[in-house]
Amino acid sequence: MSRAHTPADLIPALSLQPANFSAEDPGVGGWRHLLDQGTGADKAGIDRLVVSDHVILGENLEVYGDPKAGGMEGGVQPTGPDGHWLDPLTVIAMWAARTTHARFLTAILIAPLRRPATLAKQLATIDVLSEGRLDIGVGVGWQREEYEANGVEYAGRGRLLDETLEICQALWTQQAAAFHSDRVQFEKIHLNPKPLIPTGVPLWISGTLNKNVLRRIARFGSGWIPWGPDAMDPIGGIAKIAEVMEKAGRDMKGFQTTSYLQIAEEGGKIDAAKTMALVGPMAEAGVTDFRVTLNLPKEEAAVEAFLSPLVEAFRKEAGRT
């Protein structure tokens, strides 16, 4: 077995977010293209594969564009209510079986919708089988209907997320775990196997940096996935997080932050050098993960050929060559 891939290796990473959703049934061939996109990206040298999460969809999808409900100003859902969304953890497990290099991240997993101890076991299993390549981005989401369909209180979703993360970390780090709250109480509970990193699966907290998200990052976070207006200024957000972390007695060593890269084109083709031009300065300012979303080919070899120039340009700009 190779050594566990560990987030302590904080060289800048290039991440890719293939679409684990489709507005319609993909039809002939099904979702094979998504698996081939993952393996092609891995062979090209992409550092992290990212997937998103919806358990169900209601019909009030315009709420996604409402920041007051947790959405993104001006945001538009990529599918209608009958869109097809694959479970992100299942996709990651499939990718993990077919790849050797890339890490994995959910952006985001709506963790309050899952039973905490069951989620802890599922994540630990994927982490062990992938040889420690799992990161989990978590948040509360924006869609009331997802909570109602799961019999979970929407109004208390932030508190439930905190409890879920606390239970997961207890089960991952304690040999005989204990936890007590109004909802959940247990003593001398054993969960094995445990994640390969002693502190558990790294948790990336998503959200606009309000007081609750900042508190959650300081308590649980190995990384931050910017959202809302803070997604437009991740470097400013890093400074806010550093201040809160210092007050909590934590430093920023090993802390990760993601940001999207704007794809630059010239003559209808991707200009890899221009796309990666800001990687160096952003990395110096604390961004560790640089994410791209692209209209990918469907065949593995074509994906590898398509992505390889981007990977090469990224590594050059990030000082990794």
User: Per-residue pLDDT tens for 159-175?
Assistant: 999 999 999 999 999 99
Residue 179 scores a pLDDT above 60: yes
Q: What is the mean pLDDT of residues 207-219?
A: 97
Q: For residue 189, what is the domain's CATH number?
A: 3.20.20.30
pLDDT band at 15 (very low <50, low <70, confident <90, very high): very high
- Angstrom distances, CA of residue 92 to CA of 88, 89, 120, 128: 6, 5, 15, 13
pLDDT band at 31 (very low <50, low <70, confident <90, very high): very high
pLDDT band at 148 (very low <50, low <70, confident <90, very high): very high
- Percent of the chain predicted with pLDDT > 70: 97
CB 173: neighbour CB atoms within 10 A?
14
Counting Cβ atoms within 10 Å, is residue 175 exposed (0-12), middle (13-18) or buried (19+)?
A: exposed
Average pLDDT of the residues of the chain: 95
pLDDT band at 151 (very low <50, low <70, confident <90, very high): very high
- Percent of the chain predicted with pLDDT > 90: 91
The number of folded domains in the chain is 1
**152 domain-assigned:** yes
**291 domain-assigned:** no
Alpha-carbon gap, residue 101 to 38, rounded angstroms: 11
What is the per-residue pLDDT for 6? Answer: 37
**230 domain-assigned:** yes
User: Per-residue pLDDT tens for 32-71?
Assistant: 999 999 999 999 999 999 999 999 999 999 999 999 888 8
- Angstrom distances, CA of residue 119 to CA of 115, 123, 164: 6, 6, 9
- Tell me which residue range forms the domain holding 55: 13-256
pLDDT band at 10 (very low <50, low <70, confident <90, very high): confident
**118 domain-assigned:** yes
What is the per-residue pLDDT for 262? Answer: 95
- Residue listed under structure tokens 């959405």: 71
Counting Cβ atoms within 10 Å, is residue 311 exposed (0-12), middle (13-18) or buried (19+)?
A: buried
**268 domain-assigned:** no
Q: Global pTM?
A: 0.94
**301 domain-assigned:** no
**83 domain-assigned:** yes
Residue 7 scores a pLDDT above 80: no
What is the per-residue pLDDT for 68? Answer: 86
What is the per-residue pLDDT for 42? Answer: 98
Helices (H), 87-220: 88-98, 116-129, 144-149, 157-173, 211-220
Distance of CA 20 to the CA centre of its chain: 13
Output DSSP code: residue 230. G
Torsion of CA 26, 139, 42, 301, to 10 degrees: 20
**109 domain-assigned:** yes
pLDDT band at 100 (very low <50, low <70, confident <90, very high): very high
What six digits make up the tokens of 146?
């997802």
What is the per-residue pLDDT for 9? Answer: 52
Q: 3-state DSSP call for residue 203? A: strand
